[in-house]
Structure 1
């Protein structure tokens, strides 16, 4: 149940984020749905290819595929004057997707018997892959390339899970790290934390 909830939140958040970016870039309905679908599912596809694990096709994602379609449809048919103002708040659904998918990636690596490096790698790729794909398709500079801290939070989640400090079999610990990554990502954005030595002292 824990992972079902996190997967629904992650897919809905990234589908929402992708659709908002598409509408702000003036994509048509086809482009909006393509970008909205690519954002939640691209990270897992990239991860599986990198780890040499069979790729599950987007249309084989079961109910998650329909969660993405429903979310995109809601965004697309909302009044455009409302939607255009939501782009400034896109950091929040993006943080939710980053966190949930980073945890999902780490869990996937553990289930497939990967060592610590593979767990961290899977957490990063799954967490940031969708956002990078969204930004590249929308011809925006990917968030992971910004000075602000982004992928580090996915790395942190993978590290904490990989070394056993967070037990993903425990629901409360899973939700705890999920919220922690969201808070860290949002805080790093609003407080302007950067990956420079002088900023690391502030952490």
Structure 2
């Protein structure tokens, strides 16, 4: 495989990851990344527009996979179940690539400029997921809320997986969505309760007064 192709891209990603961990993101240049990868700087810019994008490689593929997975989810599922179906596939991709995924998350967490870029990327992916839900006929306001909530659960699961690799990312994802369902059920039960309790100044539970 020529260095200007897939092999060069892989080498550049690995070199960037090594240098970011050794020197820090801010003190690493594209020239240093290229040199570590054994290519020239022009080759770097053929693959990536800047040194931040090395850590977000594959975003377009992830967006396509999520939208396709939402579209292909079985009929009759509720929005959260559709999202769980879709995020399982994304989780498997990350699990297969853990040696890259784990340090990548650490580098982003330690670098304000990268956290800002990640927020923008996440917003774009969340909107793509919401649009995929809309295309399944889910109301606009529900699609947006489900996508944002589901994406938050997905990231919660990823962080739990990094902190506790003894369990698979699928197990952490399942737990996150179980917790999400439990919270939703609890909120619904509270809303439908005929009597809402409020605490008085002494801390005792009292029925709230309604006009």
Q: Mark the structure with the bigger radius of gyration.
A: 2
| Structure 2 length-normalised TM | 0.35
| Structure 1 length-normalised TM | 0.36
Relative contact order higher in (CA < 8 Å, ≥ 6 apart): 1
